[in-house]
Structures are given as C-alpha cells and as structure tokens.
Structure 1
C-alpha cells in the first residue's frame, strides 16, 4: 500500500510548469526572484519597472515597494512569494484604474477633491481632520498626489483598516491595542 503525501511549504511558490497553464505573471516575478523564490523591495521595484506597470506615471519608489511588501508579508520575512505577488498585482491593477478614473482633469495627479472622492468610494468616512492628515502626508508641493503616493496611501489605509477590524471584536468602531501591537501596526507601514 502506497501513501502519497502532498506537502506545501508556505511562502514558496509552486513553479507554474507544475500547475498546468503557465501564469503570465511568472515571467516578471521569476526574472527578479532570488534563489529562495521570493522578492524583496528592490527586486519588486525592478520587476514593476521592467513590466512598465507605472505606465506614464513615475516608477514606484523604494519606500512604496517596501509598504506594498509589508501589506502582504504574512510571515514577516520582508519578502514576497509568487502568490503574494499575484495578489499585489491585482490590487495595483485596481488602484491604477481607480486613479485614472478619478483623475478627472487628466493631470496625472490627484488634487484634494479627487482624492476625497476616491476615499469615499472606498467606503471610508473620514473626518475632515483625518483627511487633512492624509493629504498632508501624501501630497507633493501644490497639494497634488502622484500615483506612487496614491498607492502608498491605499496600502496604508487597507493595512491599518484590516488591523483595526481584526481588533474591533464587537464591530462597534472601537478596538483595543497593546502598545507593542500598536507600534507594529503603525511602524511597519
């Protein structure tokens, strides 16, 4: 009697040749992934630049690449495997389309009114003070948000909202954080 065991190692992608149809994103990922089958921030930056994901926008900064990895870094390795890369690609595609749709004046940046409309469309009901903090943090001189900064803002909003929701056990808009937990949630992003 033969026993077959299928072992999956977390964080390591299965090579697409074993999955039937090759994934079109594998080429971008594998071109920069190290021998461990993972990519770090500089490799993600190179990958997204090589794929011309930014299009006519400025390529992603290293800091934005770091926060993108952190958003999906479930094992806290500081790197991302192929499945996380695919998830990130999906998020980036949606955020890029949203950015294009809400950039009403086609300036290639968002002003405060365009950003406010996006934030509301995402379902966030921010106070004017909280929105002002976002604008101050992410806007360049002149109050405009670039695509790179928009992605960083989206990553942080998503990650911090997810962290809050996990701790809001009563689902009443209140969460309890231990100091160390609070620092991990805010400083890692």
Structure 2
C-alpha cells in the first residue's frame, strides 16, 4: 500500500495520541501537517501528488483539494486533522477503485453512461437532466477525468448530506432560506 505523503520519519511531525502514532498513516500525515497538526489545501495537494494515489491520472487540482477538506471539515477550520485525513484517505481510495471499475476501456476518463453507472453505485439517482448538468460541469469533450470525477463525487456527497439533514420527513423535498442555500452551495 502506498501512503499519501513523503519524507516522514519515525520522529517527524507534531506529537499525537499514542494510538495515532502507531497508525502507519499518522507518520505521513505528521510529515506534512507540521507543528500545527493540520493540513491545508496546499499541503494536501502536495501530499496527494507525491503519494502517487492518482496513479497515472492527472494530479489533483487545488480546487479538488479544497473540496476534499471542506467535505470533512467538521470544525470549519479550513484545514484537516488526522482523523479527517484518515477518513479522506479511505474515501479517495474508494473513489479511485470506482473510477477504475467504470473506466472499462482504461482511457483515464469516463463518458456519460459510465459516470451514470458510477454515481448510481454510490446510491445517487440522477435524472438525465441532472446528469447532463453534471457532464457540462465536469467533462471536457464529453469525458470526465479522475480529478473531475473526484470533484463531482465530493459535490454529490456534500449536497446530498446537506439535503438529507434538512429532509427530516424523508419526502425528497426541503425548503431553504436563500442565505442557508448560499452557505451550503459555497461551502462545497
């Protein structure tokens, strides 16, 4: 298994709880997090680029890294602590596996039908119109690369999570105040 960061030694980085320090991923996290014990979007981009997690795909953009942090930033600090990082690492690997499974021709991209199957596997039932909007936003010449697939997956997860919190009766309908809607939309 390749770990996400480089240059971490047994004593590198900030201190942590003993169980964290025993986690092999913690040393990699600590090497990037530095003294503050948090990873910013810039640090995450550097970390993921050097990890090789993207494989032969294009490295993650800074915007995708910002989305990754926002997805798990429970304290709204704009950074990621170790537990959030560990959760992200699992999510990235799951999304990478899904991408590889649905990129059947190994082109490094997904077309609309492949993307529809992938998001359906995640439990999202997008209408053809919604899929069309997703393809316009995340594709280049009708093909979605891995970085854009990650951004799309994060947005779908975040928007769905925010929607479900407000859909207390599970009717598939919610009411948003404008400011609330803007906070949700802009936080992702």
TM-score for the superposition, normalised by structure 2: 0.89
> Where does 1:1-189 land on structure 2 (aligned, <5 Å)?
15=16, 18-19=18-19, 22-140=22-140, 142-189=141-188
CA shift for structure 1 position 148: 0.4
Query: What secondary structure sits across from 2:152 in the alignment?
Result: helix
Which stretches of structure 1, 4 residues or longer, exceed 3 Å deviation after superposition?
A: none
Matched residues in 2 for 1:90 and 1:20: separation? 16
Matched residues in 2 for 1:138 and 1:160: separation? 16
Runs of 5+ consecutive residues of structure 2 not aligned to the other structure? 1-13
- Residues paired across the two proteins, number: 175
1:27-81: CA deviation from partner (whole Å, max 9, x where unpaired): 2211111321001100000111121111111110000000000000111110000
Higher helix fraction: Structure 1 or Structure 2? 2
Radius of gyration: which is bigger? Answer: 1
Computed over aligned residues only, the root mean square deviation of the Cα atoms, in angstroms, reads: 1.5
Matched residues in 1 for 2:84 and 2:159: separation? 18
Matched residues in 2 for 1:20 and 1:46: separation? 22
Matched residues in 2 for 1:14 and 1:167: separation? 38
Runs of 5+ consecutive residues of structure 1 not aligned to the other structure? 1-12
